[in-house]
Structure 1
Amino acid sequence: MNQPEINVQAGSSINSQYVTPPGVLGPRALNRALLARQHLLQRSTMPPLDMLEHLAGMQAQAQNPPYFGLWTRLESFRHEALSSLILDRQAVRIVLMRGTIHLVSARDSLKLRPHTQPMLDRWLKGLMNKPLLGLDTAAVALAARSLVEERSRSYQELGLLLQQKWPDYAAEDLARAARALVPLVQVPPRGIWGAGGQALHTSLEAWLGSALDDDAPLDETILRYLGAFGPATVKDAQVWSGLTKLRDVFERLRPRLAVFRDEAGNELFDLPDAPRPDPDSPAPVRFLSEFDNMLLSYADRSRILAEPYRRLLFTVNGIIRAAVLVDGFVRGMWTIERRQSEATLTVQLFEPVLDRDRSALEEEGARLLAFADADADHHSIRIEAGK
């Protein structure tokens, strides 16, 4: 169990058996800072687009997780609020941080995509060493852009069309190269709540009618990361972004940042005025979506996820399961199953919880079901107790 500790902020109370030294932030202090940045201590009234930008995007391999992610952070969030942003081209689904699909604002897509290109170039270089050895990548990029701007296409179709010009290479590898070379967005109905269908792509520039912002400073992106995920180490920022060699960026920013240390002695950087609540601040039960960036944006996840639980959430095929927070930390996972007119929420706890927390799980779970399956005639909640 996490032991209570003192906050480094002035005015914090000292009523614990274990006290961290001045300037040192333990897991509970880091946890409460993260929850505050993510609006999980109290839901926000900001518009969904503003929340997307505050979070610097939301990981979105699957269609529905961003909806749940916004629901758990925003007051009175409705599905159509996000769907309309995608349909109106104010928000887009595009490969960004860590080489994964993210849902971001249109403004951010133009700024963030150039920052992620070095990571994609590094990944593409690995392909060029064997399956794509000798390929003219500039020609592939030009051909791929022409094809998707002519008509939105799936990766499979794009790869097969490219293979007609480069028959010595596998269609799948050619599509992967195009994904790294051209900023491709998934067009609606992909990403729309309740809509199905194959993911189709066009270029970001064609979709938005705007050019990439190649002059957007990386320093500002790192400051935004700290605003949503700090305090954090250089390695944490590299895990979040997929980039390397960020030490120089942090050194440039050092005069503008507050600096702490974690219990292992690692430097933690943060925005001076960002919230760092008392570690003993109460944290309500929250349901995180699949692929929530809170679980993916740190080299050391102990501020929210105990290592023994990581293997329960992170599957071998890359799925990050939806998690339950109790007292701010991952204590289980959840799924919703729909059978005809009944929707059932199952919460699988990793450890026992207090009766009051179980009641809170049921209350918040009922709200989750009302959001996820409002048209179901019957809602039920099953909580499987931890051992």
Structure 2
Amino acid sequence: MPTKTAPVLDDRALNRATLARQALLEPTDASVLDTVSLLGGLQAQEPQEPFIGLWSRLRSFDPATLSDLLTERRVVRVHLMRRTVHLVTAEDALAWRSRFDAMLRQKVMGVYRAELQGVDLDELAEAGRAVMADGEPRTMTELVAALAHRWPQPGKRPLGEMLVSALLPVAQAPPRGLWRTKGGVRNVLLSSWLGREVDPPAPEGCDPVGQALVRRYLAAYGPATTTDLRSWCGLAGLPAAVAATRAELVSFRDERGRELLDLPDAPRPDPGTAAPVRFLPAFDNAVLGYHYRNRIIDDEHRGLSVAGERVVLVDGRVAATWRSEDGAVAVTPLRPLTGAEREELGAQAERLALFLSEGESERARIDAPVG
């Protein structure tokens, strides 16, 4: 429980802290690789969305740079946080993957428990690894076809989901995820793709990866509650890691009395700091990376954050949705906008249209507010 003397941070103060950590208050001059690392990865279930997320955060972003990092195997697309596909650095993929193994299995079993009843998962993993050992990228269908004769009962989808999103540490090989390139999911073992095995699980009672995740999360998302941390990573077993790092942390309270933890020297800007308009991609972790999202989105619009809607931040909060259609960026406000807000939003929409069209169009449209 927070102490009575812990300072209180209101939603606006938390908002500005989030924007600062996420490079959404001021664009960063950091490299693409360093930004992916700083953010603890980018949500990437929609292959083109990380490019928009980086465009919104970097002062100068060439999408070819991210494509090159993928083909050079310095970043990878993997099932990780919350069993969703994330774009992370190769180093983080190798260091973190084993820590997520139990959660990934549990998530798949939560969906396909009846179908997978009686299947020896360790045996299935061993068989799947043997098929993939040649290092050739395979679709889920191709992998399942090689094993279905041994496990005919579960069905192709349950067997495949368990293999490629839980049992086998795999990356999604390019061209999936390259800029303006379409490509189906082809899976390859991380050990084959990156040249070494993933780091083994830590001995029982020791959780260095969990402690690293606590620090990395707070650096990119803090101040935050332990429930927020759990919602970001999907791991339930982090109380010991939080306890082990607590002496390094400082404590605050939010307006509702919940304890917030943070790194002592992390940025917490003045709540009055101006926040520029920012266009976010679908499923951006600046919104999804919390259980309590009041700092950045109103409760009435919370559903947008899990429905795949691309959103726009105005004065730091979700105030519109946007879409790309016929070479234009169309914006639908969620509330009435001031003249100055509309002007800034329109200018940013034109910049985004130029980026998405590679200089062919700067058309933008702002619709009437919903409702």
What is the CA–CA distance in structure 1 between the aligned matches of 2:110 and 2:283, rounded to whole Å?
A: 25
Tell me the TM-score normalized by structure 2: 0.93
Please list every run of 5 or more consecutive structure 1 residues that lacks an aligned counterpart in the other structure.
Answer: 1-20
| One-letter amino acid of the counterpart of residue 172, structure 1 | R
| 2:114 match: secondary structure | coil
Q: Aligned residues: percent identity?
A: 40
| 2:93 match: secondary structure | helix
| 1:217 match: secondary structure | helix
Which residue of structure 2 aligns with residue 289 of structure 1? 281
What is the CA–CA distance in structure 2 between the aligned matches of 1:96 and 1:360, rounded to whole Å?
A: 36
| One-letter amino acid of the counterpart of residue 327, structure 1 | D
Q: 1:300 to 1:169 in 2, by over 3 A?
A: same
Which residue of structure 1 aligns with residue 224 of structure 2? 232
Matched, 1:98 2:82: yes
The answer as to whether partners of 2:288 and 2:305 remain within 8 angstroms in 1 is no
What is the CA–CA distance in structure 2 between the aligned matches of 1:314 and 1:350, rounded to whole Å?
A: 16
The answer as to whether partners of 2:174 and 2:183 remain within 8 angstroms in 1 is no
Describe how 1:106-185 pairs up with structure 2 within 5 A: 106-126=90-110, 129-150=113-134, 151-179=136-164, 180-185=166-171
What is the deviation of 1:161?
A: 2.4
Please list every run of 5 or more consecutive structure 2 residues that lacks an aligned counterpart in the other structure.
Answer: 203-207
| 1:130 match: secondary structure | helix
Q: How many residues align?
A: 358
What is the CA–CA distance in structure 2 between the aligned matches of 1:129 and 1:41, rounded to whole Å?
A: 44
| One-letter amino acid of the counterpart of residue 312, structure 2 | V
What is the CA–CA distance in structure 1 between the aligned matches of 2:183 and 2:280, rounded to whole Å?
A: 25
The answer as to whether partners of 1:91 and 1:106 remain within 8 angstroms in 2 is yes
Which residue of structure 1 aligns with residue 65 of structure 2? 81
The answer as to whether partners of 2:112 and 2:158 remain within 8 angstroms in 1 is no
| 2:115 match: secondary structure | coil
What is the deviation of 1:117?
A: 1.4
Query: How far does the alpha carbon of each residue in 1:323-356 deviate from its partner, in whole angstroms, 9 at most, with x for none?
Result: 1000000001111113xxxx11100100011111
What is the CA–CA distance in structure 2 between the aligned matches of 1:133 and 1:127, rounded to whole Å?
A: 12
| 1:73 match: secondary structure | coil
Which residue of structure 2 aligns with residue 379 of structure 1? 362
Within the candidate set 177, 185, 191, 1:205 is matched to 191
The answer as to whether partners of 2:288 and 2:306 remain within 8 angstroms in 1 is no
Tell me the TM-score normalized by structure 1: 0.89
What is the CA–CA distance in structure 2 between the aligned matches of 1:124 and 1:311, rounded to whole Å?
A: 23
Matched, 1:33 2:21: no
What is the deviation of 1:217?
A: 2.8
The answer as to whether partners of 2:96 and 2:209 remain within 8 angstroms in 1 is no
What is the CA–CA distance in structure 2 between the aligned matches of 1:235 and 1:196, rounded to whole Å?
A: 36
